[in-house]
Amino acid sequence: SKTSAFFQEHIELPFFVEHLKEKPTKEPTPKAWAFETGRNQWARFEQWPPAAAKPRTLYFDAGGRLSFDTPAVAAGFDEYTSDPDRPVPVTGEIDEGMPRDYMTRDQRFASRRSDVLVYASEPLEHDVMIAGPIEAELQVCTSGTDSDFVVKLIDVYPNDYPDPHPNPAHVHMGGYQQLVRGEPFRGKFRNGLDTPEPFTPGKQTKITFSMPDVCHVFRPGHRIMVQIQSSWFPLTDRNPQTFVNIPDAKLTDFRKAVERVYRGGTDGSRLRVRVME
């Protein structure tokens, strides 16, 4: 898809013609333009989120399952140990600074780590287009007094997906775990940015936060994946996992913490999304 050429010809130029030259355009300007990643095409919408995007919920379930269906098993939890001395990196490669394409990088390196939880759907039978805001609703507890929680929405390609041609970057697309959207949240601010509050170690706590809007189509044969982790370095600074003023944190403040994410039952962790119908 020639995204840049389309943007200049059909979005940017008509906007300037209408608002700078005050001349009529060939067709009325929509309320919103959005690029549908996954399908790789521009789309017009008369409102955002689109009226056809209906609220749906992605539930975390036992065995690393992710589904739009309410979990049938009893509530449980998954846990991992977060170590500030071994933070989860943004990419699996060694880069000088932040790579420009980090928001679409392969996340297979992260799914192999013991400090990252992975939930994935079955292969999709038809297109699933998620359009609009995403809300993460996590039920967690920690052995520390502060923790970060990073939620990543990922598009998993089929194992037999062909590599691009030409392929100068030598990217292997079979099983590629493409980052679609990711958002970190510092747990101490769960009740407001002006009211930091420590966690009570071992106490189940609800955390709700918004992720940036998305307009992405998961294609047939692909899987929807969610990864949960407690660091994302160097995009976010390391959380000592103790309730301190982080810029003034001492080496002794940085401690390992066991992070538990509850799933299943009626109050388990989930993502609230909007799916086009």
The pLDDT assigned to 2 comes to 82
Residue 46 forms part of a structural domain: no
The whole domain housing 263 covers 52-276
pLDDT digits (tens, 9 = 90+) for 80-134: 999 999 999 999 887 777 888 889 999 999 999 999 999 999 999 999 999 999 9
Residue 137 forms part of a structural domain: yes
Residue 213 forms part of a structural domain: yes
Q: How many CA atoms lie within 13 A of 61 on its CB side?
A: 16
pLDDT digits (tens, 9 = 90+) for 179-232: 999 999 999 999 999 999 999 999 999 999 999 999 999 999 999 999 999 999
| pLDDT higher at 168 or 257 | 257
Q: Which residues contact 195 (CB under 8 A, 6 or more apart)?
A: 189
Pairwise CA distance, residues 211 & 183, whole Å: 6
Pairwise CA distance, residues 273 & 277, whole Å: 13
Residue 272 forms part of a structural domain: yes
Mean pLDDT computed over 141-153: 99
CATH number, domain containing residue 134? 2.60.120.260
Contact between 43 and 30 (Cβ < 8 Å) = no
Work out the pLDDT band at 169, boundaries 50, 70, 90. Answer: confident
- Number of structural domains the chain divides into: 1
DSSP 232: -
Residue 10 forms part of a structural domain: no
The pLDDT assigned to 1 comes to 61
pLDDT digits (tens, 9 = 90+) for 1-57: 688 899 999 999 999 998 899 888 888 889 999 999 999 999 999 999 999 999 999
Residue 17 forms part of a structural domain: no
Burial class (CB in 10 A: 0-12, 13-18, 19+), 168: exposed
What percent of the chain shows pLDDT beyond 70?
A: 100
Q: Residue 189 — left, alpha, or beta (φ > 0 → left; ψ -120 to 50 → alpha)?
A: alpha
Residue 30 forms part of a structural domain: no
Q: How many CA atoms lie within 13 A of 126 on its CB side?
A: 3
| pLDDT higher at 94 or 241 | 241
